[in-house]
Structure 1
Amino acid sequence: MSKPVLKIICIITVFSMTVAFIIGSIVLVRSTDYLTAEIQGKIVSTAENYAHDFSASFNHMEGLTDSLSAYVSTTFDRNQFKADPRGYLGKYKKQLSGMIRKTLSTTETAHSLYVTFNPRLTLDNDEVWYAIMGGKIKEISADFKNNKRDFTLPYQEDMAYFFEPQNQDAGTWTGPYFDKDIRQEVFSYSRAIYTDGLFIGVAGADISADDTVNVISGMKLYDSGYSVLLDENFQVVVHPSVDGKDNQEEISTSLRKKLGAAAKERSGTIAYTQDRVENILGFSRLDNGWIFMVIQPKAEAFAPIRSLTIVLIVLGVILAIVLIAFLIVFSLPFIKRQHSLEAENQEKDIMLIYQSRQAKTGEMMGNITHQWKQPLNTINLILANLLDSYRFGDLDEKRLQKSVSKVEKIVENMSETITDFSDFLKPSKEKISFDVRDCVKSALSLMEESISYHRITVTSDYEGAASGFGYPNELTHVIFNILNNARDAIVESSPHERTIAIRVTTEEEFLDISITNNGGQIRPEHADRLFEPYFTTKEHAGGSGLGLYISKQIIEQRMEGRLLLENVPTGVCCHVKIPLIHEECD
């Protein structure tokens, strides 16, 4: 697969993957936000629903108690009581009993209703108390002595119902506590009764704590969750982990801190970390000021989000695989077509190189022919002279030796020409460090006869090190092509002084071989096409248009250098830049 096609496929794949990733991320973020809001809403909604249900029950209890308190406050006659305390109190208790029994029979919420009279007023433990026991309404006779009900300060937990409502504008909730007379855990709502500022006692209603505790203990949205009920002072009313007073105070303080500023709100959610576990807490206030909480581990509550994330990631991977497979299948015809074009182009390149070498071989054969004519003529004359000397008896050993030496020297020069020619045609197998001056000399030697014939002066200037890295034979080929073009330009323009200047300099990481001729400048309309295959300005002279094209391929593709042409005041300068090998690296 070619680089352009591979690049296009990669770009399309990356673009498609990027778009899919962006869309997937947006969907994931929005879905996560939606599910997060949904889960938080579910938790706070659950807290609100339970708080509403508890409030309904508690409000009913408060209504019963407030009505009972108001009844006693308006019907109790303090003057009659003062005149006959025991007699009036007995009659009034009987009247009150009927009213409490009737009220209790109409409700399904309250477990018991009672009025406890102020013992300092009645000078005795007087109480009217009815409770639903075994499905029936029964009068409860409190055992004040055995159950140690103490009406003195400081009061015990089971006496909070009597003392806390005093001097309050409203009733108070207490509990849960164990009532020894009815032997049951209860919540109690009680309200102080006053008549013209005189403390008569308290009216109250009990509700079974077992049902409420069981509901709260069993209320959890997820397996590891739990619920909590706090009073208006953030004291624990119901909590699954409370196992004592110290523990209760510690938990109450912890929950108060977690709620923080949110405690002022009617309902809401907060997130917190405890024992390295992230939790989400939903809360809602009851009408009486108590707070119902639903606490769930975040990992368990947000499990659907993790599942959604995994599903979306898996879908994304599947989509990516399908997309890549589609791109591969879709691109196969183009890849096959590209392979076909590459094969055709490779065949063309081979043909171009072959044609170029054929053309240069013909050029060099012409040069060699010119170079060999004179030495062959000289050898022919020497042999003719030897033959004449032999015929006339003038041939001696000294004269023969002198003639043989001349012939050997001439043959040696001819052999060097053939060696240069064969080296030129022999391709280099690997990159090596070499002296570019040798390449310049080899190229010049191949054109020596032609340059001399056209009376062209060649100058060479080498600055410092001249070691390059690459393929020396190919570089000789390139220099030969450039010299050949320079000679043709000079011959065509026929300047008064015919010169070719060769200069080798270093330029950063490259060795720059500049070859300048004074055969005229490049025409602007030809500048952009000089390195195209088969483009030539010498059609009338049989130019192939392959020399510069092949030279550029050799320098830039094989040797990782650069080949440039530029107009200079005297003509044209060609820069051949190849990687530089510093002396210290040789």
Structure 2
Amino acid sequence: MKNITLKIILSLVCCSFIITLVLSWTAVTNSKNVMRGEVKKELLYASQKYANQFSSVLQTQENVVDLISTMVSAEFVTEEYADNRPVFLALEKKLNEIIKHSMKTIPETKSLYLTFNPETSGGNDEVWYLRNENGEVFYMEADNTVDEWLTEGNEDSDYYYDAIKNGKNWSSVEYDMYLNTYSVTYASSCWDKNGELIGVMGTDIFIDDIFETVKNIQLNEGGSAFLMDENFNYLAGSQPENLFNEMKRNGVLNLLPEIADPKSNKNISHSTVHNERYITTYAGTSNGWILALIQSEDSMLLPIKYMNQMLIAMALLILTGVIAYAVYFSERSVMPIVKEYEQKDIVLLHQSRQAKLGEMVGNIAHQWKQPLNVMSISLSNLWDDFRNEKLTEKQLKDHIENMRLYIKNMSNTVDDFAEFLKPARKKQEFSLNQEIETALSLMAESIKINRISVEVESEEELTVYGYRNEFCQAVFNVLNNARDAIIESNPERPEIKIRIYIKNKNEEKDTVIDILNNGKPIADEVKPLLFQPYYTTKEEKGGTGIGLYLTRQIIEVHMNGSIDLFNTESGVCCRIVVPKEETYHE
């Protein structure tokens, strides 16, 4: 009898190892998928952010040129000065003051000029102002004594004729050897109310700062950033041009014409070169340039790769032991186990305990996933604020405090789950409002990134009696599902509302927490399954189906309360009801 019992215990231990390995493997795989998704989101966000930043610089100068062009079109009428040089000179002098004033009031502008149409101005005329290294604005005398002032086909005159032909024109990048800087020219043609050409208004924009920003974009190991013109030619990058060309040849940069269109679904691509996977995101600037951010998946997922290798090694060792034991067990113990069938209750008891152990491992993996994701987002935001010189001491302290809170919560998760099956845990009185705020703070970064507004309504500070950390975890699970429902539904104004009030206020019996989100309603056929273990509607996104089941256990079994999910006119409501302190003390 003792030998048979020992063999059964050994069998269950082997099974528990296998279950633990399977759950660990599942958790690692889910983490890998989550991390891959986060990398995509971060790259898309970063590429669009930098592209918008560059567009803002270029758009500012474009707006200045367009504004002055509009003023010129309103002030100049060619038929009034075509045969009257004094009238033209008076208008030119007035324009001179306008351009000079614009240069002084907009320090970002490095140059402004208007080249007049010589056929109507009566000469080779141009108003041109520059800003020197000291920020001083000065008039630049154009060499208008040359015989061929403007000649179509002449490279120096392309800005003029291209602007007339297209209405507006951005030049390609040019290097000024005298100023030792890179620049682009934006030019806009000016026409009077009669449709006669007045001239071309333009500005030279120095773009060394943009190139330097691209070179210094900080990505994770194995990441690269490149800025290209509209023809996909190299302009600047965190890597040299020869590496850019190599990536083009290998297909890491899939340069399709529609790739940088914000409305296109081709602003992200995947490629594999020499068994290494790459993610590439694209974003376009206002003048047609394209910013590409490239990240090696293998470099990002290296820790998970090592963990996979470790799990494989452990699995092989355990499998070897299980096979050896199975051979021995099948030869020596099959018949005795059949004869001792009356011990099945003991076997079922051990299986139940091992199943609970496996469930606990799954719960820990589920509870840790969101804090790890939020910490990754928070670190990225911290780095962006530092790099953009927007990081204040208060912001740094807030980030550090949030990190400590995440780590403390993760540590509490392990402690709580370790004690979860023990009935002798200590209950205490705690502030319901405070634990809801704690749950919200743990997902503050995720709520902020997804632009979800959160409103908490409470008439007073309410206290309940029970397990404080478990209640916080239950609220966290509900908020996490509410956030996911909003992200999936993508409403116009995403919002979560939390209402805390006393049911039957005159009797002061129960406290009610309503957590509402404006995501899509719950389907009727899904409602009965929501609180069942391992049922999930988010399996492709790494859902385990444990969150709501665990939440129900905490509220109903451990706090003698109730929980329900139901549809409302604007979305879904999760109602949690817990008894007041005096009705729940044991």
TM-score normalized with structure 1 length: 0.47
TM-score normalized with structure 2 length: 0.47
